[in-house]
Amino acid sequence: MKTAADPRHLKRRETVKLLFAESFAHQDNLTDLVKKIISKKEKVDQEITKAAPTWPIDKLNRIDLAILRLSVYELENTDTPPKVVIDEAVELAKELGSENSGSFVNGVLGTIYKERVEKADKNE
């Protein structure tokens, strides 16, 4: 069972903190994962914008944006099951974000996941 002390959860939390800090000013102590996410930021942000069209990237809560960037990157570039990525993102949003962050992050990632499943079904 997952706990708040799970090493994967702690790594994700640290990644979100670095992405959040990077959204204000360049950080010198970035991990390889954060550098990879930043290198794909444009593509990741396009997916977020497509899934949440009423929320422009520059108007999003920056902690929510950091969580979404990590999660969308994980969905595209890791073998982690999508439902695990979404669950972790929601937990981080509840822990680090505002009162509505959990449901917002869940909605955006749920939309992205649903579109991927539909696209995969069409390609079969």
Report yes or no on 23 lying in a domain.
Answer: yes
Report yes or no on 77 lying in a domain.
Answer: yes
Q: In the chain, what percentage of residues exceed pLDDT 90?
A: 88
Report yes or no on 1 lying in a domain.
Answer: no
pLDDT (0 to 100) of residue 2: 64
Report yes or no on 2 lying in a domain.
Answer: no
Report yes or no on 104 lying in a domain.
Answer: yes
Report yes or no on 80 lying in a domain.
Answer: yes
Q: Are 34 and 15 in contact (CB under 8 A)?
A: yes
Domain count, the chain: 1
- Residue 45 confidence (pLDDT) above 90: yes
| Over residues 103-120, mean pLDDT | 93
pLDDT (0 to 100) of residue 52: 95
Q: Which CATH number belongs to the domain containing residue 116 in this structure?
A: 1.10.940.10
- Quick one: three-class SS letters along the chain? CCCCCCHHHHHHHHHHHHHHHHCCCCCCCCCHHHHHHHHCHHHHHHHHHHHCCCCCHHHCCHHHHHHHHHHHHHHHHCCCCHHHHHHHHHHHHHHHCCCCHHHHHHHHHHHHHHHHHHHHHHHC
Mean pLDDT, the chain, integer: 94
| Over residues 46-52, mean pLDDT | 96
Residue 54 belongs to domain spanning: 7-123
Report yes or no on 24 lying in a domain.
Answer: yes
Report yes or no on 35 lying in a domain.
Answer: yes
